[in-house]
Chain A
Amino acid sequence: MHPAPSVIIFSTLSGLGFGLLFWLGIDLTPPTGGVAFAFFFIGFALAVGGLLSSTFHLGHPERAWRALSQWRTSWLSREGICAVAALCVMGLYALCLIFFATHIVILGWIGALLSLLTVFTTSMIYAQLDTVPRWKTPLTPALYLSFSLAGGALLSGRITIAIALLAIAAVIQIFWWIRGDNALTISGTDMGTATGLGERGTVRSMAHPHTAPNYLVKEFIYVIGRKHAQKLRVIAFVLTFALPLVILALLPFSHILAAIAVLSHIAGVATSRWLFFAEAEHVVGHYYGMR
C-alpha cells in the first residue's frame, strides 16, 4: 500500500493526541489553569493537527463533512463522528479546568472513552479490510490502542504507567509483525483464485493492461521500501520503545531527557506507521503478478 505522508502524519499525531486526552480525562487530580492549558493545547494540537492532515489526501476536502453521515456501515464515518464528539467533550472539560478550575469528573470520563473509541475506529478502517490480509486481524486495533495509550502516558508524564504500557505495546508490535509476514500466504488468495484459472495450472502474468504503472499499481503495489524493511523495523523498535524505556526506567529524571524520550517515541511511531503501509500487500497485486 502506498504510504501517503498525510495519512502517516495523521495516525501518528492523532493517536498520541487522543492518548494524551484519554489520560487527562481520567486524571483524578487534573491540572488547572496554565498547566492545564499547556497539556490540553498539546493534546488538541496533535489530535486536530493529525485530523487536518488526513484531509489533505482527499480528492474533495471541502465535502469532508459528508463523511459524518454513514455511521451505520462505515468505520471511516464512525471515526469522524467519534473524533468530533471526543474533541467537543474534551474541549468543554478543558475549558472548565483552565478557566474555572472546575473538575467535572463524568465529562472527563466520557471524553476519555470517546478518545479511545476514536483510536479504535481508526484501527478498524484497516482491520476490516479482507483485501489487505496483513491488516485483517484483531491485533491491529490492539496495536493502535496500545501505541496510543503508551504514547499518551509518556506525554502526560505518567512514568510508571508509560513503562508498563510501552512494554506491552512492544510485545504487540512484535507479534503483529510476525503474523503479518505470513498473512498473505495464509489468506489463501493467490493468482489462481484471482483469475479462477488456478486449477488448470500455474498462472503467470504475461502482460499488464498498460505499459506504464496505473493508479492501482501506484496505490496498492508499493514495493520501494521493502528492501530496507528489516532495518526499518529495528530502527522503529529502538526509537518507539527501547530508547524511551531506557530513559524512563534507568536514567534520573530530567526535562531534557523526557523531551528526548517523547521525540524518539514520535519518530519511532511514524516509522512503524510508514512500515504499516509500505509492507502491506493488497490482493489486487495478484492480477499484476506482484505483491
Chain B
Amino acid sequence: MTDLPTQTDRSLGLVIDLDTCVGCHACVISCKGWNTENYGAPLSDQRPYGTEPMGTFLNRVHSYEVQPEDGTAQTVHFPKSCLHCESAPCVIVCPTGASYKRVEDGIVLVNEDHCIGCGLCAWACPYGARELDQEEGVMKKCTLCVDRIYNENLPKEDQIPSCVRTCPAGARHFGDLSDPNSDVSQLVESRGGFDLMPEMGTKPVNKYLPPRPKDSWDDQSLLAPLLKPVAEEPVGFLGWLDKALDKLPGGSA
C-alpha cells in the first residue's frame, strides 16, 4: 500500500555540505555507474554521442551564484538527489503501490516490476528527484545505494552510498538522521543544516549545510599601513612620460 508509515525505525539519509562541494560531478558519475550496473533497470542514455544527449540520472549537480546586497557574489555548487522525505508526496500518489517508504530505514524505493510508468510521482516531487527512464519506461530514483549499505560482501568502507564514497571533497555524509547522537545529526546541529522547500511540507530527511561566509574584500591586513604606495603621483622618468603621453593627440587618460 502507498500509505506512508507513521514512523520509521531509522531515517537514513545524506547531509550535503554546500561549503565544501567543489562541483566536480564525481558523485554524479559514480552514482550513474553503480546504479547502471546494480539495483534495478540500468540508467539509460539517449543519443549519448549525438545532438542533445540526454539520460537518466539519480543525482545532478547545479551551480548557483548568490549575490548578497553588499559584497561580492558567491558560487555555490549544489548536488541534488532524492531527499527520502518523511512525508513523501511521491509515494501517496502512486496508483499501483510500486512506490513505497521502508519502515526499517525510511528509504523511498520503487518496485520496478509494478511500476506502470505513469509519471505522477515525478509530478508530485518538488525536487525533481525522480526521472522516468526513457528506455525502460519505469521510474528511477536514488535508492540510497540500498544494495551497498547492507552488502556484507563489500569491504566495510564501501558499505556507504556510492556518491558519499566517491566525493573527493568530503562534502557528502551518510547516516541515521533520526538518531540525535549520530555524526550526521551532530553535523546538522552544529552547522545549521536546513531543508529544501520546507513550505512544501515534505519533511525531507536529507539536510543541506550552508556555505560559510566568505572573507570580505574590505578586511585589512595588519601590515596594510606598511604597504601603502609611497607615491600617489608618478615622479621622475615615469612622471615625465605620463605628462608627455598626455600631451599627444587623443587627450589625457
Contacts and interface: CB of A to CB of B under 8 A. Distances in A.
A63 B116 contact: yes
Q: Interface size for chain B: under 10, 10 to 19, 20 to 34, or 35 or more residues?
A: 35 or more
A208 B128 CA distance: 13
A219 B13 CA distance: 27
Interface in B95-135: 95-98, 114-120, 122-128, 131-134
A210 B134 contact: no
Nearest to B64: A203
Interface string B54-86: 111100111111111100011110101000000
A64 B78 CA distance: 37
A131 B124 contact: yes
B76 A195 contact: yes
Nearest to A283: B126
Contacts of B169: none
Contacts of A187: 199
B92 A73 contact: yes
A200 interface: yes
Contacts of A77: 95-96
B154 interface: no
A195 B64 contact: yes
Contact of A58 (B80, B89, B117, B201): B117
Interface in B20-70: 25, 28, 51-57, 60-69
A220 B128 contact: yes
Interface in A25-69: 57-61, 63-64, 66-69
A230 interface: no
Interface residues of A, number: 59
A212 interface: yes
A7 to B, nearest CB: 10
Interface stretch (B176-184, B189-197, B245-253): B189-197
B236 interface: no
Given A74-B2, A205-B62, A193 B199 contact: yes
A74 B208 contact: no
Q: Which of A67, A188, A204 is most buried by chain B, counting CB atoms within 10 A of its CB?
A: A67
Nearest to B98: A66
B200 A131 contact: yes
B1 interface: yes
A137 B73 CA distance: 38
Given A131-B200, A132-B123, A64 B116 contact: yes
A254 interface: no
B136 interface: yes
A72 B52 CA distance: 41
Interface of A: 1, 57-61, 63-64, 66-70, 72-77, 80, 125, 128-132, 187-189, 191, 193-197, 200-216, 219-220, 282-284, 287-288
5 contacts: A67-B116, A70-B94, A76-B118, A191-B64, A207-B63
Given A58-B117, A209-B57, A220-B123, 16 more contacts: A61-B116, A68-B95, A70-B95, A70-B96, A131-B200, A189-B200, A196-B210, A197-B18, A200-B211, A201-B66, A202-B67, A205-B64, A209-B60, A212-B52, A212-B54, A216-B122
